[in-house]
Amino acid sequence: MTMQSNTPPRGGSRAGWFALPLGCLVGAIGMLVVVVGVGMPLAIAHRSDLPLERLYGDIAVSLASRQGGNAPNPLGTNPRAVEAGRNAYTGSCAVCHGANGDGRGAFGAGLYPPASDLRGEDTQEKSDAQLFWILKNGLSFAGMPAFGQQYDDQTLWALVSYMRALPKGSGALAVPTPDATQLAMADPNGDPVHHGAAVYFAQGCANCHGAVGNAPGELRLRGADREAQQVIRNGRTGMPAYNQAQVTNAELNDLIAYMGTFSGQRR
């Protein structure tokens, strides 16, 4: 009589053990494909809060900005720093956060999430160093750009000074809005003056200086000469530098030609 063993072959047992983790791995990859290919596009496209999304976003911003530490603003609330910060804010921030920091700029309400009210507790409770870190590095998941390549550290600290002054109602600059005639000057295929106008508007110069250099105070443009070229290339407190990757030498010459048409400018 032949005895049969009920013990499965060793090879089959080993194959079973391998099948379990392999199945889990395949399932995880499949789930990842679904999340990346379907879930993420839907999440990016939505325009209203998902459950707990706002809370998660606030926590993420808080955790990210903590990398900045707690160092105080070296410029403090010095009036000159506040003015320099206001100039930079007017050209780079007001378009989203509004002239007075209420988050109701031209593009602020159309963002998701909407631009922050910089006067509010969520912003003002952060340390100076945290605000500096956000300005310098940005928050890509919140639509906040990084300004570390456009502004030096002194100007970023000046922006922090101005942000601290916003809740006190520090006077925001009202830059005149370009009219149809002024915008019509911009022609990328036109002569140097009209091409320079296209460069001027495309680079956002009008947001800070007005369509024809007619902004108030220190933002008014008073000259279009070699000194102006140097300022555009090298920047100054409250104004970013524009390198040749942003504005070529030919574009810079045309930009100066357009600025030379401003009323009362030196020729």
CB count within 10 Å of CB 40 equals: 11
Q: What is 180-259's CATH topology?
A: Cytochrome Bc1 Complex; Chain D, domain 2 (1.10.760)
Q: How far apart are CA 253 and CA 199, in angstroms?
A: 10
Domain ranges of the chain: 53-168, 180-259
Provide the token pair at 25: 């791995």
* CB atoms closer than 10 angstroms to residue 47: 6
- The per-residue pLDDT for 267 is 40
Contacts of 143 (CB under 8 A, 6+ apart): 111, 112, 113, 115
Q: Which two tokens stand for residue 240?
A: 């970013």
Position 105 scores a pLDDT of: 87
Sign of CA dihedral 69, 71, 74, 79: positive
| Separation in Å, CA 145 to CA 85, 182, 204 | 17, 28, 15
In sequence order, what are the residues at sequence separation of 6 or more whose Cβ sits closer than 8 angstroms to the Cβ of residue 141? 57, 60
Say if 53-168 and 180-259 have the same CATH topology. yes
Nearest C-alpha neighbor of 152 from the set 88, 102, 198, 95: 88
The pair of three-digit structure tokens given for residue 66, joined into one six-digit string: 């903590």
Complete DSSP assignment for 153-190: HHHHHHHHHHHHHGGGTPPPP-PPPP-HHHHTT--TTS
Specify the CATH class of 53-168 in words.
mainly alpha
Of 153, 163, 151, nearest to 68 by C-alpha is: 153
What does each of the 267 residues of the chain score in pLDDT, given as a tens digit? Answer: 555 555 555 555 666 666 777 777 777 787 777 666 665 565 666 666 666 667 767 777 777 778 878 889 999 989 999 999 999 999 899 989 998 999 988 888 888 788 899 999 989 999 999 999 999 999 877 789 999 988 999 999 999 999 999 998 877 788 888 999 999 999 999 999 999 999 999 998 998 899 999 998 888 987 678 888 999 999 888 888 899 999 999 999 999 999 999 975 544
Query: Rounded distance, CA 176 to CA 21, Å?
Result: 65
User: What's the CA gap between 93 and 111, in Å, rounded?
Assistant: 14
Q: What secondary structure letter does DSSP report for 75? A: T
Task: Tell me the sheet residues that pair with 266.
Answer: 223
pLDDT at residue 266, rounded to an integer: 43
For 248, the token pair is: 């070529």
pLDDT value, residue 213: 92
What is d(CA 164, CA 114) in angstroms, rounded to the nearest whole number?
20
Report pLDDT for 61.
75
Given CA atoms 227, 184, 145, 80 in this order, what sign does their dihedral have? Answer: positive
